[in-house]
A and B are shown apart, each in its own frame.
Chain A
Amino acid sequence: MLTEENLKKAEEIKKRYPEAKAALLPILWIAQEQEGYISEDMMKYLGTMLNLPFAHILGVVSFYTMYHDKPLGHYHLEVCTNVSCMLRGSDKILQTIEHVCGVKPGQTSADGKWTVNEVECMGACGGAPMIAIGEEYYENLSPEKTEELLKKLS
């Protein structure tokens, strides 16, 4: 289920650790990058590959918030609402996003375009309020800037 190329990467990654199990997190990242999420079939497949019980993999996938067992929207918006962002108006950023995207935190829009999540501190408190879209951070936001950013993606 991993592509030929990703299988090679996985083999390389295993060499970094004294035990194959340690390669689980990095290989889950590869799987998620390939498929967009980690399906039950993928978990079973990786279980066979790393010689780990399915329950272990499921346990790991469900423990870490960044692994997803369902597909996300095309854009994954993560809105930080922790203290530093809250003090600088993350409420309004979240409202703007809900309004423009038409979804509440934890939901994916019907057209599959947006997934919005409220997240904990992203390590960008100096640029609060902030959101992340995929790996990209957008800092020092205002409702206007947020709206502009979302319109650009529309």
Chain B
Amino acid sequence: MSARIGVVTFPGTLDDADTARAVRVAGAEPVPLWHGDADLRGVDAVILPGGFSYGDYLRVGAIARFAPVMDRVIEAAHGGMPVLGICNGFQVLCEAGLLPGALIRNNSLHFVCREEWLRVDNPDTAWTSRYERGAQIVVPVKNMDGCYQAAPDTVAELEGEGRVVFRYLDNPNGSVGDIAGITDARGRVLGLMPHPEHAIDALTGPSDDGLGVFLSALDHLVSA
């Protein structure tokens, strides 16, 4: 039986179809989840895709965090279900308290769309087991609010526990410690600003380096 991975659509979500495609290419079954549903339809993992949920006219992710579906996502995450937040999804996970810190406006004050080199610093999570430690991958970033910030002791804790999963080699937005993605203490909840779903082949993306994120989850779910 193939793993079923839920992909949440909030009004204003943009990369949901692309995330579902990446899930499918990795060999899992994507299951659409609607923001207003208080039900995860029996999925084995959840992805919150990129976009501008509810327009993000307030602080990014601040409204999506209160969507009915998020109560179930938070519950499931506490129960150990793998949850991935990409871009706006990462912002929502921070607002929901599943990951520490916050994403603020890029230091350039511009939207930044670039192909970015990342280093994988932690391959021991549900979403990164397919990578070697220290692997360098190319994945697009595209956001307005991608600058990761957290209190100094929080950053120290993340660094100390090896919870910084992806790091920029050429920081595009001023993130503290070049942080591109972090995980929770158990390595199940992962948030990152770059878009692995836009790096699943060299035709529509810069590389297929992002596919490892989805394959890792599949490995994790099948072996679990």
Query: A and B from one assembly?
Result: no
Residues of chain B touching chain A, judged by Cβ–Cβ distance below 8 Å, are none
Residues of chain A touching chain B, judged by Cβ–Cβ distance below 8 Å, are none
